Amino acid sequence: MQIEDTHQTSVPNLDSYLRQLEEEGLAHDAAQPEHHNKRLNLESPTARLLQMLILAGRRRRVLEIGTSNGFSALWIADALRRLPGAEPLVTLERDPDRAAQARKNLACTGLDSWVSVQVGDATAIVAQLPGPFDAVFFDADRISAPAQLEQLLPKLESDVLLLADNALSHPAEIAGYLRSVSSLPGFVSTIVPVGKGLHVAHRLSA
């Protein structure tokens, strides 16, 4: 699946910076034999779809679980800054070095004021977040996503959008999360065959 690139940005050099990050991320991951050392950034078509869903759905309070070096956070922040009444993205990263890379990349694009990077165990942080959120993007280890979703349930808006990457590339690992979402009342969901597979679930009312 391909998404037409009609994105225009008023943030200076953001498009070229995103292309540079994407190329660097691919080269970095190809040279890393250990999976846990890879950045595992979103493919740009998936990132663009994510941004479009946030813009079209007029999401205003977004949580991202799994920051890495901030590639997807840049796309989300660029969407939020366009929406009246939107708040900065809250993004969670357990690795301090990756969080530092994310903060650097956000500062280089001038979008750092639109993102709050929190460092630590995502499940523990989620338990302390006040909410409410109208969109959550799960892009960490997938195995912990069901526990995080359970913690988030009372902190979600009625009209909430749940997004998760790797639905096609890691079906066994994401299966628990998909079962958890399918058991929730009022949600409709689908898997979009873009990149590694983006699972999209939406609840119109609680």
CATH of the domain at 56: 3.40.50.150
pLDDT tens-digit profile of 92-142? Answer: 999 999 999 999 999 999 999 999 999 999 999 999 999 899 999 999 988
Give how many domains the chain has, as a whole number. Answer: 1
Q: Is residue 131 part of a domain?
A: yes
Q: Is residue 152 part of a domain?
A: yes
Task: Look up the domain containing 78 and give its range.
Answer: 42-203
Q: 156: Cβ–Cβ under 8 A, 6 or more apart, which residues?
A: 131, 132, 133, 134, 136, 203
Enter the pTM of the model.
0.88
Tell me the C-alpha distance between 74 and 106, whole Å. 7
The number of beta carbons lying within 10 Å of the beta carbon of residue 17 is: 16
